[in-house]
Amino acid sequence: MGINDGAEGAVLVINGLLSTFFFFIARMPTISSSCRNKELIPVEIEEI
């Protein structure tokens, strides 16, 4: 019984991690584009 409960708990934890992981991947394009804009703006100002 104890081993079964531990395996079920591990599966639940892994499922939760995977769901949050894929959630962040789904939102990644907007986050990375905003980060790129913040990084590119200072570079363009320095070049000018």
| pLDDT score for 24 | 81
| pLDDT score for 8 | 84
For 18-41, what is each residue's pLDDT tens digit?
999 888 877 777 666 666 666 666
> Computed from CA positions of residues 34, 40, 44, 45, in that sequence, does the dihedral angle turn out positive or negative?
positive
Percent of the chain predicted with pLDDT > 90: 15
pTM: 0.42
Token pair for residue 2?
Answer: 């104890």
| pLDDT score for 17 | 92
Token pair for residue 7?
Answer: 């395996």
